[in-house]
Amino acid sequence: MNNNNSGGVTRRINKTIIYIVCIFLAVLSILPFWIMFVNATRSTAEIQSGLSLLPSSHLMSNLRVLLDKSFDPIQGFMNSFIISSSATLLTVYFSSLAAYGLVTYSWKLRGPFFTFILCVMMIPSQASAIGFYQFMYKIHWTNSFLPLILPAIAAPAVVFFMRQYLLATLSIEIVEAARVDGSGEFKTFNRIILPLMVPAVATQAIFAFVGNWNNLFMPLILLTQKEKYTMPIMVSLLRGDIYKTEFGSIYMGLALTALPLFVVYFLLSRYIIAGVALGGVKE
């Protein structure tokens, strides 16, 4: 493929342009967040006086102003964490289970069930939000985390993904060998199959967790008590009147809500990128 020297100059120019565009886009990705973190350390007066890319020394005073106005990032973090981790556990476990049921056993409704999964994969949660809210209101589950956690048991897209993974990797001989050894079907799944599915489970867990963490619509509808607020709802508080002129503390609040995600992203970015690619190909 590298057999031609002709056009080497044009290629070098092309490559330079490509690198410039890519670097520009990378800067575009970083810059808003950079400004956010820098401005979180600057006083409102400094922010008003102009742009700076270097941090200042008002981190603590911004934090104090922020926390004075009943912004409780620790509580928000805990709430978001409880909801997201519980929902993620339910999603990956029950989706793996359903996918295993789909792949391993031949049962009459297997085909129809898979068709059904494909059909409901793309129903937006907003479409059923009104009925969902009325339902939860009637059984007094508003301001509870349960309606944000339990629906995670049924995650059609994850079942679809897990099914594709099992089809490509699972050999039925393993299951049969386990049966010969006297292992029950549930035990086989929990002890043998689930550990084999770890790569797929990890990918889906990351996306389920981030998706739940970033979810705004449902928590906004269901949670009205301040001590139940999740991180994204707390973000919406920063838009309110109480912070109108306190730019330093607004940036501080934004930085605090984004920080956990940055940490997770830079620890797991390799797996996340690989996961995005895998999800898109749906091989």
Partner 1 sequence: MRRKGVNYSKFGYIFTFPFVLAFLIFSLYPILYTAFIGFTNLQGLIPKPIHILDNPFQNFKDLLFDNVSFRKSLINTGILWIVNFVPQIALALLLTAWFTNQRLKIKGQGVFKVLLYMPNIITAGTIAVLFSTLFAYPMGPVNSFVELMGWSDTPIFFLQDKTTARGIVAFIQFWMWYGNTMIILIAGVMGINPALFESASIDGANGIQTFFRITLPSLRTILLFTLITSMVGGLTMFDIPQLFLAGGPDDSTLTTSMFIYGQAFKGSYMYNRAAAASMIMFVISAILSGFVFYLMRDRDAAKMKKIEKMHRKSVKSSREGGVAHEQ
Map the footprint of partner 1 across residues 59-98, applying CB under 8 A. 94-95, 97-98
**Closer to partner 1 at the Cβ: 33 or 227?**
33
Binding segment for partner 1 among 60-68, 71-79, 81-89, 123-131 (CB under 8 A)? 123-131
Rounded to whole angstroms, how far apart are CA atoms 103 and 98?
9
Q: Which of 132, 142, 183, 190 binds partner 1 (CB under 8 A)?
A: 132
- Angle, alpha carbons 207-236-145 (nearest 5°): 55
Question: CA separation (Å) from 18 to 13, 23, 24, 29?
Answer: 9, 9, 10, 17
Please tell me the distance from the alpha carbon of residue 7 to that of residue 5, in angstroms, as a whole number. 6
In the complex with partner 1, the residue whose CB is nearer, 81 or 133, is 133
**Contact residue for partner 1 among 20, 26, 60, 177 (CB under 8 A):** 26
Residue 241: phi, psi to the nearest 5?
-70, -30
Nearer to partner 1, 57 or 128 (CB): 128
Query: Which part of the chain contacts partner 1 (CB under 8 A), choosing from 47-55, 62-70, 71-79, 81-89?
Result: 47-55
Residue among 191, 170, 169, 190 at smallest CA distance from 278: 169
Out of 75, 133, 144, 196, point to the residue binding partner 1 (CB under 8 A): 133
Query: Position 106: which residue type?
Result: S
**70 vs 91: CA distance, rounded Å:** 33
- Note whether 210 binds partner 1 by CB under 8 A: yes
- Range in contact with partner 1 (rule: CB under 8 A) among 55-63, 64-72, 81-89, 124-132: 124-132
CB of 138 to partner 1, least distance (A): 8
Report which secondary-structure segment, H or E, holds 89.
Answer: helix 73-104
CB of 68 to partner 1, least distance (A): 19
Within 170-189, the residues that bind partner 1 by CB under 8 A are 172, 175-176, 185, 189
CA distances from 117 to 20, 113, 121 (A): 44, 6, 6
d(CA 209, CA 268): 13
The single residue among 88, 147, 197, 252 that binds partner 1, judged by CB under 8 A, is 147
Interaction between residue 196 and partner 1 (CB under 8 A) = no
Using CB under 8 A as the binding rule, whether residue 57 contacts partner 1 is answered as no
Q: Which two tokens stand for residue 132?
A: 């969902």
Pick from 60, 105, 177, 227 the residue near partner 1 by CB under 8 A.
105
Residue identified by tokens 């690619």 is: 277
Contact 154, 120 (CB under 8 A): no
Specify burial of residue 27 (Cβ count, 10 A radius: 0-12, 13-18, 19+): exposed
Least Cβ distance, residue 227 to partner 1 (angstroms) = 19
Indicate which single residue of 61, 113, 190, 271 sits in contact with partner 1 (rule: CB under 8 A).
113
**Which x/- pattern, by CB under 8 A, does the window 254-273 give for partner 1?**
x--xx--xx-xx---xx-xx
In the complex with partner 1, the residue whose CB is nearer, 59 or 237, is 237
Instruction: Please identify which residue in 5, 50, 140, 181 interacts with partner 1, judged by CB under 8 A.
Output: 50
Take residue 32 and report the two structure tokens written for it.
């808003």
Question: What are 127's two structure tokens?
Answer: 């479409």
